[in-house]
Amino acid sequence: MTEKEKMKQGMLYCYLDKEIAAEHARALDACDEYNRTPRKRAKKREKILRGLFGALGKDPYVESNFRCDYGYNIFAGDGFFVNYDCVFLDCAPIRFGDHVFIAPQCGFYTVNHPMDAASREAYLEYARPITVGDDVWIGGGVKVMPGVTIGDNVVIGGGSVVVKDIPSDCVAAGNPARVIRTLGGELSRAKGKAKDGNKAGI
């Protein structure tokens, strides 16, 4: 089994592996190109993003300084908005639904390191996916940790650290983030009915 295969399966892998390191370098170069491309060259910026991401919906808007580890593990729906200085450590998939707004200086970290020093010194790490639903607003400076799922119609308060799953239709905040109020679920329910209708061929 290759180190990349181990990475994809959530196992410990060596991040200095040649194949993984080459893909990381490619993503860093693409990020550098994107960040230095003027905003007025919108078509070129979008082309770079689409070549970097695993999937990207309609009308993306990503500000500089954008950083990611590999790019191909980031999947975003329509209306994806990312403000300044955000970091995506996508050693495992990071999936965003439609109309996700991300404020400045946010981080999405799928990667983790072993607790024992010997494994860390052997350049081993592992990753767990992050999933974010539709119509989510992530406040400034939020950090989302490995393995977290955030539901639909959620607001994450600025400065929060999200270490556990957050259900749909709520506001969550704090370190660690916890639900502090609920939101009306009409939006989520309406979208759920639409999705069910599409499945039924309606």
115 Cβ neighbours under 8 A, 6+ residues apart = none
pLDDT of 195 > 60? The answer is no
Domain ranges within the chain, ordered by starting residue: 3-199
Average pLDDT over residues 7-23: 97
- What pLDDT does residue 86 have? 98
113 is catalytic: yes
Q: Beta partners for 95?
A: 75, 131
Phi-psi region for residue 24, left (φ > 0), alpha (ψ -120 to 50) or beta? Answer: alpha
Instruction: Give the mean model confidence (pLDDT) for residues 182-187.
Output: 76
Residue 190 predicted with pLDDT over 60: no
Residue 160 near residue 144, CB atoms below 8 Å? no
Q: How confident is the model over 43-65, as pLDDT tens digits?
A: 999 999 999 999 999 999 999 99
Annotated catalytic residue, options 67, 113, 128, 178: 113
pLDDT tens-digit series, residues 135-146: 999 999 999 999
Q: Is 98 helix (H, G, I), strand (E, B) or coil?
A: coil
For the chain, what percent of residues have pLDDT higher than 70? 91
pLDDT in the model for residue 201: 38
- What integer best gives the mean pLDDT of the chain? 93
- When pLDDT is averaged across residues 16-29 and rounded to a whole number, the result is 98
CATH assignment of 3-199, given 2.30.110.10, 3.40.50.80, 2.160.10.10, 3.30.1360.40?
A: 2.160.10.10
> Given a cut of 70, is residue 36 above it in pLDDT?
yes
pLDDT score at 194: 54
Question: Which residues contact residue 55 at a Cβ distance below 8 angstroms, ignoring those fewer than 6 apart?
Answer: 75, 76
From the list 86, 90, 94, 82, the residue with the least C-alpha distance to 24 is: 90
Interval 75-116: pLDDT, tens: 999 999 999 999 999 999 999 999 999 999 999 999 999 999
